[in-house]
Amino acid sequence: MLVLCAPRSGRYLCRLIYPFQLNTNNTISPLQLLLGYLPPDRSLWSSELAKKRSQYKNFKDDLLTNPSEITRRMYNSNSAALGIDDAKSHTQTRLLLSRSRITHQDHPLSLVKTSIWNQFFQDTEIIDQIDRDVNRTHPDIHFFSGDSLFAKSNQEALKTILIVFAKLNSGIRYFQGMNEVLAPLFYVFKNDPDEENEAFAEADTFFCFVELLSRFQDNFCQQLDNSIVGIRSTITRLSQLLKEHDEELWRHLEVTTKVNPQFYAFRWIILLLTQEFNFADILHIWDVILSDPEGPQETLLRICCAMLILVRRRLLAGDFTSNLKMLQSYPSTNISHLLQVADKLHVQSV
């Protein structure tokens, strides 16, 4: 049994990029444990990895196949079940299906909701959005951007993960910015020193991405926006947290200058601060968020509150326009100090 300790006072006892030894030849990433991708029992790690990686391959085979190929496979299966194996049938199957054998539901122009073609065309819009967003992911980092084969292959992996996720999760599908949340996970797995783990970085990233979003799933579900567990409720909790620890700042922001926290905190929370800090700092912050046993949501909110407190002097001196501009483009700060302030908020609340 492996026990992970939560960081306190700026000391990070479990870094995302430091692997654990699996056996004499293999290692695993702390992320796989922190996010519940792997069970605590070491003896199950190898079999679980093999099962999940095989499952991801099946997801891709099932979800990324062109509808024409799916229809052809269905016909092959039906023909085999009926014992049809004559030369004419084989030729039609191998080349093109005859029009008489294409059902209304399987026709490319079908409007039937269950039609694989109808779903294919509905997915196209999301896939196009994913393609645009991934191409814009961290343009300043060669790992994600550029004309090299390495960067291109990494982009393709990100796109594939997001497409598979969108197809499997109809309630969430895809929202703009998911690529930014996915990028740190894939970066960690792709830089694993173990060659086998690096080769399966895409599969491991997919499942950890699912686990990560599941911890914040109520924030992503639009149907829950106005509920007691949705994103608006989460933003309200941030507001209450600020009021509890710095009522003067809270009053100036929300009463005097009328800066609604939704104007800035929505992006902070939904994208897990990935847009507010540089890439190295995000890994640093996620160390704390993901390893806190009290849960990532509360830790994230304390860090958001600490971000406000760190710039309180500028906020107290500012008006609506200047404050909103600063909070939507958060200034550079010392991340270790930020996390120490967030930790003090936790101590004061206990």
Enumerate the β-bridge partners of residue 21: 27
**Percent of the chain at pLDDT exceeding 90:** 60
Please say if the pLDDT value at position 1 is more than 50: no
pLDDT at residue 74 in the model: 52
Mean pLDDT across 72-78: 53
Running DSSP on this structure, what letter comes out for residue 330?
P
Number of neighbouring beta carbons within 10 Å of residue 206: 28
pLDDT at residue 340 in the model: 96
Distance between CA atoms of 122 and 127, rounded to whole angstroms?
9
Written as one letter, the residue type at 195 is: E
Task: Pick the more confident residue, 123 or 277.
Answer: 277
pLDDT at residue 217 in the model: 76
Counting every residue written for the chain, the total comes to: 350
Q: Tens digit of pLDDT for each residue in 86-106? A: 544 444 444 444 544 555 555
**Comparing C-alpha atoms, which of 183, 163, 182 is closest to residue 173?**
163
Mean pLDDT across 236-261: 97
Assign 295 a pLDDT band (cuts: 50, 70, 90): confident
Please say if the pLDDT value at position 215 is more than 90: no
3-state helix, strand, coil in the chain (%, to 5): 65, 0, 35
Please say if the pLDDT value at position 4 is more than 90: no
Please say if the pLDDT value at position 342 is more than 80: yes
Mean pLDDT across 194-219: 91
Mean model confidence pLDDT for the chain: 82
Assign 335 a pLDDT band (cuts: 50, 70, 90): very high
Mean pLDDT across 224-237: 76
Distance between CA atoms of 321 and 328, rounded to whole angstroms?
11
Q: What is the pTM of this model?
A: 0.80
CB 198 within 8 A of CB 207: no
pLDDT at residue 15 in the model: 55
Least trusted range by pLDDT, from 75-89, 206-220, 323-337: 75-89
Please say if the pLDDT value at position 190 is more than 90: yes
Q: What b/e sequence results for 112-146 when a residue is b if at least 16 CB atoms lie within 10 Å of its CB, and e otherwise?
A: eeebbbbebeebeebbebbeebbeebbeeeebbbe
Written as one letter, the residue type at 151 is: A
Please say if the pLDDT value at position 332 is more than 90: yes
Assign 294 a pLDDT band (cuts: 50, 70, 90): confident
CB 185 within 8 A of CB 209: yes
Please say if the pLDDT value at position 67 is more than 60: no
CA dist list (Å): 303 to 276, 296, 336, 348: 12, 11, 11, 14
Assign 350 a pLDDT band (cuts: 50, 70, 90): low
pLDDT at residue 224 in the model: 58
pLDDT at residue 10 in the model: 40
Please say if the pLDDT value at position 83 is more than 80: no
pLDDT at residue 250 in the model: 98
Q: Tens digit of pLDDT for each residue in 18-46? A: 555 554 455 778 889 889 999 989 999 99
Q: Using only the alpha carbons of the chain, give its radius of gyration.
A: 24
CA dist list (Å): 169 to 88, 163, 186, 210: 41, 10, 20, 10
pLDDT at residue 92 in the model: 47
Please say if the pLDDT value at position 8 is more than 60: no
